[in-house]
Amino acid sequence: MTKILIVEDEPRIASFVSRGLEAAGYETVRIEDGAEGLAAALRGDGDLVLLDVGLPSMDGFEVLRELRARGSAIPVIMLTARSSTRDTVEGLEAGANDYVSKPFTFEELLARVRSRLRENMPQPSVSISHGGVVLDVLARRATVDDREVDLSAREFALAEQFLRNPGRVLSRELLLSRVWGLDFDPGSNVVDVYVRYLRGKLGADHIVTVRGAGYRWE
C-alpha cells in the first residue's frame, strides 16, 4: 500500500488530511517535527511527503533542501499558509514537486497527491534520444555524444519534455505546469533560467527561443 508521510505540526490539519487519505486507500504516517520528518523520508518510510513549512527544529524549506542534497527524489508537496510569490518560488526551486496554500480543499490535495505519485512511476520508454543527446529515463542519466552529463532532477525533467516533443514549440506556461507542477506563472523566470542551464550542458544550438511563444528543441 502506498504510504504518505504527513509532516505537519497542527494536529487538526494533520488529522483531517490523514483521515481523508486513508479513506482514499493510502497508508499515512503523521510526524510533527521537521528533523523527524527528514529522517523518516531519508529512511524511505514513505512514497510521498506532505511537508508543512512552519515546523519545530527544522522548517520545511530546510527539510526539503537537505532531502535533495542527500539525493532523495521522493515527491514532496509543500503545505503552507504562506502564499506569496517569493515563498512559492523558493519552495519550487528548493526541489518541491508541488505547493498547496492553506486553506485548501481535500479534493484538491488528493488530486495533487495522485498526480505526483503517477509522475514518480517509471516511464514506459527506457531512453529517448535526439540530436546526439540521450536520456536514460529509468536510470536518470544523460549523455551528449556518448559523454555523460550531470543534470539535476529539474533539469532532467525539462530536457525530457524537449526530447519527447522535438520540433514543437513549448510555451513557458506548459513547461512550468509539466516540470514544476504549477498551473500559473508565479512571476518567476525559473523556466528561462533552467533553459539556460540546459543550453550550457547539452549544447546551445539544441534549444531555440521562439519569441513570444516559448522554446523549441531543434
pLDDT tens per residue across span 40-70 = 999 989 999 999 988 999 999 999 999 988 8
DSSP code of residue 122: P
pLDDT bin (cut points 50, 70, 90) of residue 87 is low
19 φ, ψ to 5°?
-60, -45
**Separation between Cα atoms, residue 136 and residue 70, nearest integer Å:** 21
Q: What is the mean pLDDT of the chain?
A: 87
Angle between helices 11-23 and 106-119 (to 10 degrees): 60
**Cβ-proximal residues to 158 (8 Å cutoff; 6+ apart), any chain:** 175, 179, 191, 194, 195, 198
Contact assessment for residue 172 and residue 148, using Cβ atoms and an 8 Å cutoff:
no
**Runs of H (alpha helix) within 45-100:** 60-69, 85-93
**Separation between Cα atoms, residue 176 and residue 158, nearest integer Å:** 9
Say if residue 170's pLDDT is above 60: yes
pLDDT bin (cut points 50, 70, 90) of residue 160 is very high
pLDDT bin (cut points 50, 70, 90) of residue 26 is very high
Query: Quick one: average pLDDT of 189-216?
Result: 91
| pLDDT for 63 | 93
The residue with greater pLDDT, 94 or 16, is: 16
Query: Quick one: average pLDDT of 189-196?
Result: 90
The residue with greater pLDDT, 126 or 197, is: 197
Contact assessment for residue 110 and residue 194, using Cβ atoms and an 8 Å cutoff:
no
**Cβ-proximal residues to 11 (8 Å cutoff; 6+ apart), any chain:** 32
**Separation between Cα atoms, residue 55 and residue 10, nearest integer Å:** 9
Domain 127-217 has CATH 1.10.10.10: yes
C-alpha cell belonging to residue 115: 498526480
**Separation between Cα atoms, residue 180 and residue 75, nearest integer Å:** 12
Angle at CA of residue 153, ends 149 and 157, nearest 5°: 90
pLDDT bin (cut points 50, 70, 90) of residue 120 is low
- Give the pLDDT confidence of 131-154 residue by residue, as tens digits: 889 998 878 889 999 899 999 988
Distances (CA, A) of 130 to 134, 154, 164, 207: 7, 19, 9, 12
| pLDDT for 24 | 93
Residue with cell 508541488: 98
The residue with greater pLDDT, 180 or 187, is: 180
Structural domain spans, the chain: 3-119, 127-217
Please name the fold of domain 3-119: Rossmann fold (3.40.50)
C-alpha cell belonging to residue 208: 531555440
C-alpha cell belonging to residue 121: 512511476
Say if residue 121's pLDDT is above 70: no
Same CATH fold, 127-217 and 3-119? no
Q: How many residues does the chain have?
A: 218
Say if residue 199's pLDDT is above 90: yes
- Give the pLDDT confidence of 62-80 residue by residue, as tens digits: 999 999 888 888 999 998 8
CA torsion sign for 198, 200, 204, 208 is positive
